[in-house]
Amino acid sequence: MSIPSESAVEEGGGQEREEHERNHEAAHHPPAPSDELFDISTTVDPSYIISLIRKLVPVDGKTGNKSSEVDACDASTEGSKSDGREHSAVLLSQNGVMDNHDNGIEAMDTVELTGHDGGDYESDKKMSALMGEDVWEEYGCILWDLAANKTHAEFMVQNLVLEVLLANLMVPPSVRIMEIILGILGNLVCHEASCRQIPATGGLIEVIVDQLFLDDTPCLCEAFRVLTLGLQGSECVTWAEALRSENILSRILWVAENALNPQLIEKSVGLLLAILESEQVVAGMLPSLMQLGLPGLLINLLTFEMSKFAGERVPERYCVLDIILRTIEALSVTDDYSQEVSSNRELFRLLVDLVKTPDKIEVANSCVTAAILIANILTDAADMALDISQDLSFLQVLFDIFPFASDDIEAKSALWSIINQLLIQLKESQMSLSTLYQHVLVFVSKSELIEDELLDHQLGSCNAGAKLRRKATAVREIIGMLSQWIALKDSNKESNFMMDNHLDDGTVDRLLECCHKYILLME
C-alpha cells in the first residue's frame, strides 16, 4: 500500500475533527531554516518560554493533573514575576506565524474528563480532549518557531522541554501533535548543544525511530528530518544504533519506494544519504542495506523521476531528483560496493540522458552530479566509454556543464576525466576524416568555454595531482586532434571536403595556441 500524500485523519474524529484539521492547515510549519539564519536576534522573555513548556506537560487522563515526571519544570519558574502573556505580541512581530496566543491560555490546566448535570459524558470528554489539543497545538507551534533560534533552543532544553516532549510521545498523541513534537525536535537537533542532549534523554531516540512506522506523511517527513540531522551530528553513532535493526532499515526503504509525496521521498532518501556520508556509521549499516536491495531501489527511484521529468517538469520534484543522484554518487565511491553501481548499464543510460537534457538550467545541480557519477562509473568500467565515444551531442553538452560546476573542483575534474576517456576511445578507433572534422567543429563551437576553463587554474593549484593529470591529459588529446586537422587541411587543400568545411581557421589556431600555453604552464 502506498503512503498517503496527505495527513491521515484520526478515526472517530468526524466532522469536528475534519474542520479542526482544515482550520489548522496553515499552522503546518516549514523545515528549520539553514544554520546561518538560526542566530537571529529576538526579544522573548525566558519566563514566557517556560510558561509555554509548562502548558505542554501532558495531563493524566484520570485525574486531570500534570504528569509528575516533569514537575521539575515548575522549579524553573520560581522568582519569575511574569507568566509571559505580554510577550506574545513580541513573538508575533518576530515570526509572523502564530496569532491569538492568549486564546484559551488557561484551557490546558482546566480540562477535566467529567460530565456535568444534564450533559452527555462521552460528548463532554470528546470536546474537552479536542479543546486541549487545540491549545497544545497553539503553544507547540510557538515553541516550534522558537526552537529555530540557538539561544532559545538551548534555554528550552535546560528547562526540560525534551522530557516534556518525551512524556507526550508516550501518551500517544494525535498525528498533528506528533508532527509538532517532531518539528520541535527537528529544530532542536539543528543546534550542536541541544542536539547532544537528545541522546542523553533516555529512550527519546528510540521513540523517535518508532514514529517511522506511522502512515502519516507530515509526521514521517519530520521524523526523517530529525533522524537525518542526528546522523550528521557529533553523536551520530548513538543515533545509528537505534536504526541498525533490519526491521527499521526495511521500513526506511519501504517508505522511500512507496511514497507518493515528493517531500517524503526527499526526506527518506535524505536519511539514506546521511548514512552513506557518515564515515562513523556507514560500515556498520551498509551491508544490511545492500542485502535489502538499496542499489535497485535507488535506480528504480531515478527511473521514475526521470520519467516524470521527461513528461512534465514539476519544480517541486527537482530536489528529489538531485538527492537521489547524490545518494547514488555516495554509493558509487564506497569501498567494496562501487561495482554495484558501475556495472548497471540502465543507470549509465539514465545519467547520459540527463546530461544531454536541453535547457538544463532548472536541473543544473543534478546534471553536475550525473557527470560526476558517469566519471566514477568509467573509472570502474572503462568499456562503457566506447558506447558514447561516437556521440557528438554528449561531448558537446559536457562542455556546457562547466559553467554550472562553478568552483566545484571535483566536478570539473570529473568532466575533464570523461572528455579524456572519450577522446582516447576515439583515437584508438582510427577515426575517419569526417569524424575528425565533426569533433574539431565541436571544439571550435565551444572554444570560449574551453579557453575559460584553461585560464582557470584551480585544478593546477590544488594538491590533488590526479585531478591535474586528468585535465592536462584531456587538453593534450584536444591538441592532438586540432594539430591533426590542421596538418590534413594543409596537405589536402585541393580536396572538395576541405574546401567545403565551415571551420574558422583563426578560431582553430587560437584554441590550439591556448591549449599549448596551458600545457607549458603546467609543466
User: For the segment 110-137, what is each residue's pLDDT rounded down to a tens digit?
Assistant: 222 223 333 443 443 444 454 478 888 8
Please give the model's pTM, rounded to 2 decimal places. Answer: 0.78
| Alpha-carbon span 388 to 392, nearest angstrom | 8
What are the sequence ranges of the domains in the chain? 13-202, 388-523
**What is the mean pLDDT of the segment spanning 482-493?**
81
With bands split at pLDDT 50, 70 and 90, how would you rate the model's confidence at 498? Answer: low
With bands split at pLDDT 50, 70 and 90, how would you rate the model's confidence at 83? Answer: very low
- Rounded to 5°, the CA angle 369-393-490 comes to 125
Cell 517541486 belongs to: 316
| Alpha-carbon span 441 to 453, nearest angstrom | 18
Cell 480532549 belongs to: 129
For 257-310, give the DSSP string: HHB-SHHHHHHHHHHHHHHHH-TTTHHHHHHHHHHTTHHHHHHHHHHHHHHHHH
Give the burial string for 369-383 (b: 16+ CB within 10 Å, else e): bbbbbbbbbbeebee
Decide: 514 and 454 in contact? Cβ < 8 Å: yes
Of 337, 330, 414, 348, the closest CA to residue 387 belongs to: 348
Other beta carbons less than 10 A from residue 395's beta carbon: 21
pLDDT recorded at residue 5:
44
| Alpha-carbon span 303 to 329, nearest angstrom | 15
pLDDT recorded at residue 467:
67
Residue 59 has phi, psi (to 5 degrees) of -95, 135
Q: What's the Cα-to-Cα distance from 58 to each of 43, 108, 500, rounded to whole Å?
A: 28, 9, 84
| Alpha-carbon span 201 to 277, nearest angstrom | 26
| Stronger pLDDT, 443 or 467, i.e. the higher one | 443
**What is the mean pLDDT of the segment spanning 157-182?**
92
| Alpha-carbon span 441 to 49, nearest angstrom | 67
User: Which cell goes with 384?
Assistant: 562503457
| Stronger pLDDT, 502 or 477, i.e. the higher one | 477
Question: Is residue 253 predicted with pLDDT exceeding 90?
Answer: yes
The residues that bridge with 259 in the sheet, in sequence order, are 3
With bands split at pLDDT 50, 70 and 90, how would you rate the model's confidence at 387? Answer: confident
pLDDT recorded at residue 431:
79
| Alpha-carbon span 470 to 467, nearest angstrom | 5
With bands split at pLDDT 50, 70 and 90, how would you rate the model's confidence at 6? Answer: very low
Residue 495 has phi, psi (to 5 degrees) of -70, 145
pLDDT tens-digit profile of 276-313? 999 899 999 999 999 999 999 999 999 999 999 988 88
